[in-house]
């Protein structure tokens, strides 16, 4: 099953989004939070993100959802730490953090593919336009 990684500059936001997504998707989906930096301050940490990716990817891949700015750079750095096989199973979803995570979690819980989960997360942008 595809796992999810929530990357936020805030540890509390990442954990809160993860907890909400777990309530929606259930325990079958691996959802990991990678927020903040070691001293519990605001920021992103490539090593935390790499660790979260390793936990979330149980073989079917992982989708990374980000809040803003340097989270992209930190995630790209984290991907460099992974071997080619694992890196090939990780996709970054260009989606709103909360809505994208919720729709990705629901989609992942159905056993959807990596690309289907990313597509669902991106579609969360269109839900607000109805």
pLDDT digits (tens, 9 = 90+) for 67-117: 988 899 999 999 999 999 999 999 999 999 999 999 999 999 999 999 999
Name 51's Cβ contacts closer than 8 Å, sequence gap at least 6.
34
For the packed helices 70-80 and 46-56, what is the interaxial angle rounded to 10 degrees?
60
Q: Where are the domains of the chain?
A: 3-125
| Neighbour tally for 56: CB within 10 Å | 25
User: Could you list the active site residues?
Assistant: 9
Which pTM value belongs to this model?
0.94
Q: Going by DSSP bridges, is the β-strand pair 62-66/90-93 parallel, antiparallel, or unpaired? A: parallel
Is pLDDT at 17 greater than 50 in this prediction? yes
Q: Please state which of the four CATH numbers 2.60.40.10, 3.40.50.720, 3.40.50.510, 1.10.3720.10 is assigned to the domain occupying 3-125.
A: 3.40.50.510
User: What is the C-alpha to C-alpha distance for residues 129 and 66, in angstroms, rounded to an integer?
Assistant: 21
Per-residue pLDDT, 40: 84
pLDDT-based confidence at residue 127 (cuts at 50, 70, 90) = low
Cross-strand bridge partners of residue 90? 62
């Amino acid at each position: 099953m595809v796992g999810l990684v929530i990357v936020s500059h805030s540890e509390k936001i990442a954990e809160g989004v993860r907890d909400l997504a777990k309530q929606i998707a259930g325990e079958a989906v691996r959802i990991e939070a990678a927020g903040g930096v070691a001293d519990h301050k605001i920021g992103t940490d490539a090593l935390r993100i790499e660790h979260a990716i390793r936990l979330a990817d149980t073989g079917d891949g992982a989708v990374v959802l980000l809040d803003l700015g340097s989270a992209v750079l930190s995630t790209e750095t984290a991907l460099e730490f992974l071997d080619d096989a694992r890196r090939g199973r990780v996709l970054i979803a260009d989606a709103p953090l909360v809505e994208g995570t919720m729709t990705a979690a629901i989609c992942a819980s159905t056993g959807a593919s990596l690309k289907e989960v990313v597509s669902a997360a991106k579609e969360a942008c269109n839900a607000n336009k109805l």
